[in-house]
């Protein structure tokens, strides 16, 4: 990045390393402790595993033989495949997300230092690195949107620098991150139009909208067994979009307030903040209440947007540099009881109570075997096994092993043998039963 001093680059690098190290420890400790999040990490590892063969991103967790491009369009995940081929493990996927976030920290810290001063810019970079959206994203384990963080940071930095051609070039790869980001790309085009880049703005907006339509209407249905895009029905659900938008207004307004509040409201001065609108629109119109709050990974991509807008706002109005103080206060408030705060708890580093049994039951399943399981053990099995989820396996596959965590409280069947024989026929024997982990093997 031209214009930055050697000292600024060093500070940006150190911030990225420090934030990356903290998130790396957090995600690896959560994995080590068998913390249950969701089935998403297993889904993404199976997709990357498919790319690494090399081959199609088949995700048996979603359904036997299911191509993940029929669910979400995220071919950018294939970039992890070379690393996964060398280091095949769940931790590779987790650390890939940490690296992507760390890169975005360096980019935002550097552009901030360049435009608002070294000290203020470094504080902004740190506030971004500790922001609730990034923490929640790491806590939710790997998701494809992690690739969007450095891309949005780089596009935003180019916008602040008024390098509009670079804005376009960094924005276009967002179309490979996830299908809904076509709307964000279109909004970037609108922001360029407002900046006087009328031709580039119109072209980029049209590209984003056309690409998204083609992906949602043609590409995804072509890989989907139902010949459709599965998430269209989630907008509004059974009650309609307007009713869903008005549902739980306190929670939604709180999410919006915190998203701009962590910038001391300085983000509101910049047109770049308009990029949050597409994400808020589909989240608040969706009938899934998880979309509406600050949990999970849904705010991860909003963080580079609002912090770039904050820097641009301060560039426009230098008096807004005092907003950094408010940003620090809000960030400090969100750190209380945050995922990163668990790193100060000694229990985070202790061996979990059932770890010995967990490792033993995994070792009892031969490498390469087909295994049906619940989300409690799923991400620990994908690397060396062909894994199915008990809720989507159907009748077309007969697994050699069925493994459940009966003590996890996640509504999986308690009697593993009875379930396996009823679901798949034949005879299954109970071969492991300790500390809630139950494993049945087909004769």
- DSSP secondary structure letters along 9-40: HHHHHHHHHHHHHHHHHHHHHHHHTT----SH
Lowest-confidence pick of 238-242, 311-315, 401-405: 238-242
Number of residues that this document lists for the chain: 443
**What is the reported pLDDT for 238?**
78
pLDDT(414) > 70: yes
Residue 138 is predicted with a pLDDT of 97
Rounded mean pLDDT, 85-96: 97
Spell out the residues 6+ positions from residue 106 whose beta carbon is closer than 8 angstroms to its own.
12, 13, 15, 16, 125
CA–CA dist 129, 18 (Å, integer): 9
- Which residue's structure tokens are 């967990």? 358
Quick one: pLDDT at residue 1? 44
> In this structure, what are the phi and psi dihedrals at residue 137, rounded to the nearest 5 degrees?
-65, -45
Using the predicted structure, report yes or no on whether residue 149 has a pLDDT greater than 90: yes
Please compute the mean of the pLDDT values over residues 135-159 and round it to a whole number.
Answer: 97
Beta-bridge partner residues of 295: none
What is the C-alpha separation between 53 and 60, in angstroms, rounded? 15
How far is the C-alpha of 376 from the C-alpha of 35, rounded, in Å? 8
In the structure encoding, which two tokens stand for residue 408, read together? 């996890």
- The whole-angstrom separation of Cα 44 and Cα 421 is 29
Task: Determine the Cα angle at 282 with ends 93 and 47, to 5°.
Answer: 25
- 106 has a pLDDT exceeding 70: yes
* HSE-up (13 A, CA, CB side) for residue 308: 32
Evaluate if residue 236 carries a pLDDT over 90: no
Q: For 110-128, write each residue's pLDDT tens digit.
A: 999 999 999 999 999 999 9
CA distance 435 to 326: 48
Greater pLDDT, 323 or 236: 323
Phi, psi of 175 (to 5 degrees): -65, -20
The stretch 413-420 carries a mean pLDDT of: 93
> Which tens digits make up the pLDDT trace of 162-221?
999 999 999 999 999 999 999 999 999 999 999 999 999 999 999 999 999 999 999 999
DSSP structure class, residue 305: H
Residue 242 pLDDT > 60: yes
For 357-404, what is each residue's pLDDT tens digit?
999 999 999 999 999 999 999 999 999 999 999 999 999 899 999 999
Comparing 150 with 289, the larger pLDDT belongs to 150
Are the C-beta atoms of residues 135 and 145 closer than 8 Å to each other?
A: no
pLDDT confidence tier of residue 331, bands split at 50, 70 and 90 = very high
% of the chain with per-residue pLDDT over 90:
91
Distance (Å, rounded) from C-alpha 340 to C-alpha 306?
A: 21
**Residue with token string 């996640």:** 410
CA distances, 113 to each of 6, 101, 122, 317 (Å)? 12, 18, 6, 15
pLDDT in tens, 19-46: 999 999 999 999 999 998 889 999 999 9
User: Of 157, 129, 150, nearest to 328 (Cα)?
Assistant: 129
Which two tokens mark 394?
């159907």
Average pLDDT in the chain: 95
Q: Is the pLDDT of residue 2 over 80?
A: no
């Amino acid at each position: 990045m031209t214009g930055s001093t050697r000292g600024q680059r060093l500070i940006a690098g150190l911030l990225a390393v420090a934030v990356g190290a903290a998130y790396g420890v957090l995600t690896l400790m959560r994995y080590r402790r068998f913390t249950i999040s969701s089935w998403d990490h297993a889904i993404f590892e199976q997709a990357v595993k498919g790319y690494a063969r090399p081959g199609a991103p088949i995700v048996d967790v979603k359904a036997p033989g299911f191509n993940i491009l029929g669910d979400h369009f995220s071919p950018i995940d294939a970039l992890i495949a070379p690393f996964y081929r060398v280091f095949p493990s769940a931790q590779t996927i987790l650390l890939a997300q940490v690296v992507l976030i760390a890169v975005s920290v360096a980019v935002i810290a550097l552009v901030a230092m360049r435009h608002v001063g070294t000290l203020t810019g470094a504080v902004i970079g740190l506030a971004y690195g500790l922001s609730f959206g990034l923490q929640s994203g790491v806590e939710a384990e790997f998701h494809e949107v992690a690739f969007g963080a450095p891309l949005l940071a780089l596009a935003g930095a180019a916008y602040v620098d008024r390098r509009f051609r670079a804005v376009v070039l960094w924005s276009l790869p967002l179309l490979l991150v996830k299908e809904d980001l076509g709307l964000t790309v279109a909004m970037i085009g609108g922001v360029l139009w407002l900046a006087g880049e009328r031709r580039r703005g119109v072209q980029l907006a049209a590209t984003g909208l056309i690409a998204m339509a083609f992906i949602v209407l043609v590409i995804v249905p072509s890989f989907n067994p139902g010949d459709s895009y599965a998430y269209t029905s989630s907008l509004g659900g059974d009650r309609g979009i307007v009713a869903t938008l008005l549902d739980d207004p306190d929670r939604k307004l709180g999410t919006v307030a915190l998203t701009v509040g962590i910038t001391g409201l300085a983000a509101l001065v910049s047109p770049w903040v308009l990029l949050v609108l597409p994400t808020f629109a589909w989240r608040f119109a969706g009938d899934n209440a998880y979309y509406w709050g600050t949990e999970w990974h849904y705010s991860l991509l909003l963080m580079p947007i609002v912090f770039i807008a904050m820097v641009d706002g301060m560039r426009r109005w230098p008096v807004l540099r005092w907003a950094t103080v408010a940003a620090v206060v809000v960030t400090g408030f969100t750190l209380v009881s945050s995922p990163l705060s668990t790193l100060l708890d000694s229990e985070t580093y202790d061996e979990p109570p059932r770890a010995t049994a967990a490792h033993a039951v995994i070792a009892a399943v031969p490498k390469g075997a087909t295994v049906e399981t619940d989300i409690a053990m799923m991400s620990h099995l994908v690397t060396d096994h062909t894994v199915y989820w008990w809720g989507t396996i159907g009748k077309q596959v007969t697994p050699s092993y069925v493994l459940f965590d009966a003590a996890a409280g996640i509504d999986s069947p308690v009697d593993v043998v009875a379930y396996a024989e009823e679901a798949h026929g034949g005879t299954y024997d109970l071969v492991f039963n300790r500390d809630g982990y139950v494993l049945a093997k087909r004769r």
